Structure 1
Amino acid sequence: MDFSLTDEQRMLADTLERLIADRVAPEQRRALLEAPAGERSALWQTFAELGLLHMPFAEQVGGLGGDGTDLMLIMQALGRGLVPEAYLAGLVLPGDLLARLGDAGQRKRWLAPLLEGEHQLALAWQEGDARYDAHGIATTACREGDGWRLDGDKQLVLNAASAIALLVTARLDDGRLGLFVVPADAAGLSRRDYRTIDDQSASNLALEAVSLSADACLSADAANALDATLALGRAALCAEAVGTMEVACEQTLDYLKERQQFGTPLSRFQSLQHRMVDMHLHLEQARSMAILAATSLDRPAAERDYRLAAAKAYCGEAARFVAEQAIQLHGGMGMTDECHVSHYAKHLVMFDHYLGDCDHHLEHVSDQLETAA
């Protein structure tokens, strides 16, 4: 199989690398993190002007028709720069569901301004008792006159504080999985905001008798679309993790070359050379799995989910290994905020928990292998 990039894809990667190097230095990243929630940053507007917000979506819904490889390149660049913008949580995941399930009016209302950078959305699918099972939810949606009533709780909703509306999954009376657009200021919706350990904005939601109009329902049978969107998200996360691991390896190697012990650079010690080799082995194997994930999105659902589970499980293991080695090889200073590699390490540790951790995905792979045996 030919994994070489096209001229357009190389241009995309180069453009992103230059942009992020210029606009997301450590001090600039801190300013982005401290900006008020909901305020559009100049960087997000630049993303819109460059077409990066349109890239992952089909031309039929106003996008540029990018494929899994294009998204992989974007997410890898964002991972390298540790860019705090909610490209995945605020654009790709909710936008993909809108593109799959929304009618013309819903796309015009919610998707079109999303691609123009005018607002952001968030996807609320995870619940405490269901852990990573997107279908095992307790939030309910009941008919109320011509509209709907939602009740339940959602956890770890990334980007909810900056979203103008939330896409919420709920169980219908007939057992099907519905998807609803809930305005951020809807009566009965309360939110508790917090930061994850890697500085991402997250919220827990409580929905108590939230009344919605009939057109707030994107779909009364959203299970398959949700699975496809979460698969896309896992592929994107794998690519982002690869970019983050690249920089963690580079910064660790630079440190070993500069730091001296007994008058000799640490990079000359054979035991530390072996540990750097192990870090790069994990990185390159994760890169291969990220490519597998990006090129498997159009496969039949069962095969797609098997491949994505394998990729996410391995990349999660590799991310944690690289994070731990980077911290240990930097010594005590690797735990401080002033040492930039610590932020990369925290992001890599959290990566394993987004959209399913290693144990969850290994269990899926194991079940598939047993079924096939």
Structure 2
Amino acid sequence: MDFDFTDDQESLRDAVRRWVDKGFSFERRHALAKAGGATRAVYGELAELGLAGLAVPEAHGGMGFGPVEAMVVCEELGRGLVNAPYVHGALVAPALLAAAPAELQAAWLPKVADASALVVLAAQEAGARYRLDRVSTQAHASGDGWTLTGAKGVVPAGDEADAYVVPARWSGTPDDAAGIGLFLVERQAAGVTVRGYPTQDGARAAELSLAGAQAALISRDGLPVLEHAVDVGIAGVCAEAVGLMDRLTAMTVDYLNTRKQFGVALSSFQALRHRIADVKMQLELARSMSYFASLKLGEPAAARRRALAQAKYQINQSARFVGQQCVQLHGGIGVTDEYAGSHYFKRLTMIELQFGDSMHQLGEVSARMQDTAGVFA
């Protein structure tokens, strides 16, 4: 299999990297985080590069690119520690809206493509523990439309979004796989209450309360669409994590080469060289699993879901190891708020919790194993 990137993909990588180097310094990122984490302006700058429409079909004003191009962009945004809801607004939202009726797509996808509207997924509920099929929010038919009642938590950039894609149950009990629909709810709709707050990585999230909120139906059979969109999100944050780990490792190597103890550089100590070698091994393992995740997005649902759970589990493990080791190799400066390394570590920690933590993904992998697990064929 050819793992070389095409000329167009390399050009896309260079364009994103140039923007990061020129327009998004750590000082800017730190200032945004200290001011509360609002990132809509940064997202607008990414839209000027055409990146908001990366996954939107050309018929709706987007670029119509695929998973590999998305991986390239997310990796570069991670390397630059860019504070913007890119995965949620530019990758997950188009995957969800792709299942909507034609008129709803025509109304919203062009806005997603030019970033005049930020649409995010509001899926998590109290007690669900990342399970997509555990939905308590209720949907009721109301005339020609629908109304939703329930609550969603930790909605990414929820107080900056213009609309939400909300899974809600139109039939069945909270644990039924059937009866889950997807609905589009505008933030300004009556019955919508949003409470925003900053997150530990300098971004923002929100709690969403729905009390008879008006909604437009995207799909009555919403679970398969939701699972695919979440897998798209997993692939995106996996690539972002690789970029974060790559840059954090490079920063740590530079630090070991310049910081001196007992009159010699720290990199001259064999024990520390062994530790950075272990870090690089975990980085390359994470990179290969990120590639694996993106390439598996086109597979049938069963194979795709298992592959993305495997990838996310490994990324979580690598991110924790690389983050912890790099902080320790820096010493005290590695945890100071003024040093970029601590912010890379915090973002890696937040990524571990997005779209399913390690225990959840390990359970997903286990549940999807064949009886023999390939050992006793």
TM over 0.5: yes
Deviation (angstroms), 1:211? 3.4
Is 1:367–2:370 an aligned residue pair? Answer: no
Tell me the SS of whatever aligns to 2:125.
coil
Query: Which string of whole-angstrom CA distances, capped at 9 and with x for unpartnered residues, describes residues 186-237 of structure 1?
Result: 222222211221112101112122234xxx1111111111111111110111
CA distance in 2, matches of 1:262, 1:240: 37
1:117 to 101, 109, 115: 115
The 2-side partners of 1:292 and 1:109 are apart by 34
Contact 2:95 2:228 survives alignment (8 Å): no
Cα deviation, residue 160, structure 1: 0.9
- Partner residue of 2:194? 191
Instruction: Identify the residue that residue 204 of structure 1 maps to in structure 2.
Output: 207
The match for 2:237 is 237
Any idea what SS the aligned residue of 1:316 has?
Answer: helix
Question: Following the alignment from structure 2 to structure 1, what is the Cα–Cα distance between the partners of residues 363 and 324?
Answer: 24
Range with greater deviation from structure 2 (182-191 or 289-298): 182-191
1:4 counterpart residue number:
4
The residue type paired with residue 123 of structure 2 is W
Asked whether the 8 Å contact 2:140–2:148 carries over to 1, the reply is yes
Q: Distance in 1 between matches of 2:99 and 2:37?
A: 28
Q: TM-score, normalised by structure 1?
A: 0.94
Distance in 2 (CA, whole Å) between partners of 1:264 and 1:233 is 45
Q: Kindly provide the amino acid, as one letter, of the partner of residue 90 in structure 1.
A: G
User: Out of 174, 180, 184, which is 1:181 matched to?
Assistant: 184
Kept in 1, the 8 Å contact 2:93–2:120? The answer is: yes
CA contact (8 A) 2:166 2:183 kept: yes
Alignment root-mean-square deviation, CA: 1.7
Query: Which consecutive residues of structure 2, in runs of 5 or more, have no partner in the other structure?
Result: 173-177
Any residues of structure 2 matched to 1:344-363 within 5 Å, and which? 344-363=344-363
Percent identity of paired positions between Structure 1 and Structure 2: 40
Task: Tell me the residue number matched to 1:14.
Answer: 14
TM-score by length of 2: 0.93
Separation in structure 1 between the aligned mates of residue 335 and residue 195 of structure 2, nearest angstrom = 28
Query: Aligned-pair distance for 1:37?
Result: 8.1
The answer to whether the 8 Å contact 2:163/2:185 transfers is yes
Q: Which amino acid aligns with 1:328?
A: Q
Indicate how the Cα distance of structure 1 residues 159 and 168 shifts in structure 2: closer, same or farther if over 3 A, else same. Answer: same
Q: What is the CA-CA distance between 1:182 and the residue it aligns to?
A: 1.1
- Equivalent position of 1:104 in the other structure: 102
Aligned-partner Cα distance in 2 for 1:79–1:210: 35
Amino acid across the alignment from 1:65: G
Query: What amino acid is aligned across from residue 72 of structure 2 in structure 1?
Result: L
| Contact 2:38/2:204 (8 A) holds in 1 | no
Deviation per CA, 1:342-366: give whole Å up to 9, x if none.
0000011111110011111111111
Q: Which moved more, 1:193-202 or 1:277-286?
A: 193-202
Query: Which residue of the other structure, out of 123, 130, 133, is the alignment partner of 2:131?
Result: 133
Deviation at 1:173, TM superposition (A): 2.5
3-state DSSP of counterpart to 2:201: coil
Q: Report the number of matched residues.
A: 368
Q: Write the mapping of 1:25-44 to structure 2, written as runs, cut at 5 A.
A: 25-33=25-33, 40-41=40-41, 43-44=42-43
Map of 2:66 onto structure 1: 67
Closer/same/farther in 2, CA of residues 39 and 346 from structure 1, 3 Å limit: closer
Report if aligned partners of 2:67, 2:294 keep a CA contact under 8 Å in 1: yes
What secondary structure does 2:168 align onto? Answer: strand
CA deviation vs aligned residue, 1:4-37 (integer Å, no higher than 9, x gap): 0111111111111111011110112234446788
Q: 1:125 to 1:372 in 2, by over 3 A?
A: farther
Structure 2 residue 283 is matched with structure 1 residue 283: yes
Query: Could you tell me whether the CA contact under 8 Å between 1:121 and 1:160 is conserved in 2?
Result: no
- The CA distance in 1 between the partners of 2:183 and 2:65, in whole Å, is 26
The answer for the alignment partner of 2:175 in structure 1 is none
Change (3 A) 1:95 1:36: farther
Alpha-carbon distance change, 327 to 275 in structure 1, aligned in 2, over 3 angstroms: same
Change beyond 3 A, Cα 1:38–1:21: closer
Does structure 1 retain, via aligned residues, the 8 Å contact 2:255–2:330? yes
Contact 2:79/2:244, CA 8 A, preserved across alignment: yes
| Partner of residue 159, structure 2 | 161
Task: Mark the CA change 1:38 to 1:246 in structure 2 (over 3 Å): closer, same or farther.
Answer: closer
Residue identity in the other structure for 2:197: Y
